Structure formats: structure tokens, C-alpha cells
Structure 1
Amino acid sequence: MNLDFFKNETLNLKADIAILVARMICGYAFILHGWGKIQDPFHWMGPDSSVPSIFQFLAALSEFGGGIAWVIGLLTRLASFGIVCTMIVAAYFHSIILGDSFINLTGGRSYELAGVFFTISLVFLTVGAGRFSLDQKIFGSKSE
């Protein structure tokens, strides 16, 4: 099995520190976002939801498990792929289905947060977890 997918890109020290800080903060945010969902992963959207249980489970897993993966820097690209998919669905749901704006200046619903987290997860999917991660210890970087 080729494990190159899990290897990090080689970055300079400042970029690796920035990736570490972003992973810790955003990972913690996803742990909190996913905590309520992981309590009832197949039915967190309620009994009247039209979303199939398997997709509710995948969203709960990607948010809670992906948050943990980001914090410790383990299987970061796989976790980021799950979060990318979840954020695409969230943005679609809020923008197209609910008709929410990108930013709601009155504090109501919007898809701004989904867009921001999509962007961050796309960065982690592209460059990996950085040198301060378990991915680096286990898989190394692409330059090695």
C-alpha cells in the first residue's frame, strides 16, 4: 500500500508553526461542533430529517473524529477530506436549500462558517499536518 497520501509537504518552520496553531484551534472547534452529534450519530438531525442515517453518521464522525485527528495531527489528510465533504454539504444546505446568505449581519443563519472551515480543511488536505504532528513521525514528509 502506498502511504504517500499521508506524507506531509515540506514547509518552512514558520509555515509549520502556523499549520500547528490552525490545526489545534480548528480541531478543537470541530470537536465541540461534533460532540452533540456524536452522542446520537445516526439521528442527530431529529426524527423528521430527510437526511439518511448513514450521512448523519458520516458528518458526526468527520466533525468529532476529524477534530481529534487535526489536534493530534494523525491521518490529517483523510480527516480533512471528510471535513471538506461535510462543509460542502453544509454550505449547499444553507445557501441553496435554506436560502441563507453567506454572512448574516444580524446574527442569524449563514454559510460563512462552512465556507471558512471548507477553506481551512482544503489547506490541510493539500499540505498535510506539518512537521509537528503524528503524521510526520509515522509517515514523514514527501521530501524524505
Structure 2
Amino acid sequence: MTAHNARFLSDDRQRLASDIGLLLLRLAVGAVFIAHGWGDVSQPGGAAANTENYRAAGIPLPELSTLFGAYMQLVGGVVVLFGALTRLICAGFAVVMAGALIFVHAGEGLVMGQDGSGSGFAFIMLAASLALLGTGAGRLSVDRVLAGRLPIRPGRIAPVGRPSDA
């Protein structure tokens, strides 16, 4: 068996599999954040209805934090579904989830208890957000389309009007 035959996937198929994996991760992360953000903004009183809960949890600037958290999840979730501004939005998601772990779920186990406590959800959403922050959206994304049209990309300078290898 040759070295080439020993590999499970060719380089092109491996890249495609990775891009499909990132797409699936983005869709799942976006959908979950949309659902949670929508719950916050659509409740009676809107996102501001959570201000006292944030204050009681010790979250800094609760009036601002409630709006940031709700709209970061709702709007950011939609943007990440398309794979646009993925790294920037996922940095915001990471802030929201780190805050949830530090201020709301500190000391709770990973498994959800009967009282609804548990840090597992915030933990996995933080991990997923950090994964997308590190990898980016992949080739099946708006980020990729836009990056191919920018004259200057990280680590590479392409003359304006002349496409470069991607």
C-alpha cells in the first residue's frame, strides 16, 4: 500500500470535509444563539427585563450587558449562519459565554440539575465560539467570498483587480 493510498481522504476532500464541518458548526452555533437572543428580546419588557437578574448576578454594567448579550446572540447568530464577520462575532459570543460561566454558572457542575442549574451549555457554546474564532468560517461562507475580493489579505498582497491564488 502506498503512502497516498494509506490516507483516508485526499487533501482536496479533507479540505472540503473540514469546510462542511465548519459550516455545520456555524449553523448549529448560529441557531442556538438566535434562539436564546430571540427569547431575551421578545419577552415582555424586551432584553432590559433581564437587567435586575444581571445586577443580582454581579454582572458589570447590567443595563448595557443585557442589551449586548441579547443582541449579540440574536444578530450575531444570524450573521454567523452566513459565515460573515465570523471571527469578530465569535469573539463577542465568547465574551457572553465567559460572562455566563463566571457570573451565573460559577461552581455549577457540567450536567444540568433538576433546578436548571449547570454550566455545560455555556461551556460548550464558549468552546464552539472559540473554535470558530480560531478557525474562521471556512470556505463555504460569506467571509471567504469577501476575502477573495479584498486586495490585501493576511500574509499576502494581491494587486487590485487581479485575483490571487486562494
1:29-67 deviation digits (Å, cap 9, x = unpaired): 1111100223323x1315565152111111012111111
In structure 2, the CA distance between the partners of 1:14 and 1:57, relative to structure 1 (3 Å rule), is same
In structure 2, the CA distance between the partners of 1:56 and 1:48, relative to structure 1 (3 Å rule), is closer
Task: Please tell me whether the aligned partners of residues 80 and 122 of structure 1 are also in contact (alpha carbons under 8 angstroms).
Answer: yes
Picking from 3, 23, 29, the partner of 1:20 is: 23
Q: Does 1:75 align with 2:85?
A: yes
Task: Please tell me whether the aligned partners of residues 95 and 102 of structure 1 are also in contact (alpha carbons under 8 angstroms).
Answer: no
Task: Report SS of the residue matched to 1:44.
Answer: helix
1:28 positional shift = 0.9
Matches within 5 A, 1:1-144: 12-39=15-42, 40-41=46-47, 43-47=48-52, 49-50=54-55, 51=59, 52-96=62-106, 99-104=107-112, 106=114, 108-140=116-148, 144=166
Answer 1 or 2: higher relative contact order, Cα 8 Å, separation at least 6: 1
Unpaired stretches in structure 2, ≥5 consecutive residues: 1-13, 155-164
Q: Which amino acid aligns with 2:21?
A: A
**Equivalent residue for 1:8?**
none
Q: Which amino acid aligns with 1:91?
A: L
Task: Please tell me whether the aligned partners of residues 54 and 66 of structure 2 are also in contact (alpha carbons under 8 angstroms).
Answer: no
Task: Please tell me whether the aligned partners of residues 34 and 75 of structure 2 are also in contact (alpha carbons under 8 angstroms).
Answer: yes
Unpaired stretches in structure 1, ≥5 consecutive residues: 1-10
Task: Report SS of the residue matched to 2:105.
Answer: helix
**Equivalent residue for 2:11?**
none
1:101 positional shift = 2.0
TM-score, normalised to structure 2's length? 0.70
Rounded to whole Å, the distance in 2 between the matches of 1:14 and 1:27 is 20
The percent identity for this pair of structures is 29
In structure 2, the CA distance between the partners of 1:49 and 1:81, relative to structure 1 (3 Å rule), is closer
TM-score, normalised to structure 1's length? 0.80
Q: Structure 1: which 4+ aligned runs deviate by more than 4 Å?
A: 46-49
Larger radius of gyration: 2
Aligned residues: 131
Rounded to whole Å, the distance in 1 between the matches of 2:31 and 2:120 is 18
Task: Please tell me whether the aligned partners of residues 34 and 60 of structure 1 are also in contact (alpha carbons under 8 angstroms).
Answer: yes
In structure 2, the CA distance between the partners of 1:23 and 1:48, relative to structure 1 (3 Å rule), is closer
1:106 positional shift = 3.9
Rounded to whole Å, the distance in 1 between the matches of 2:53 and 2:137 is 38
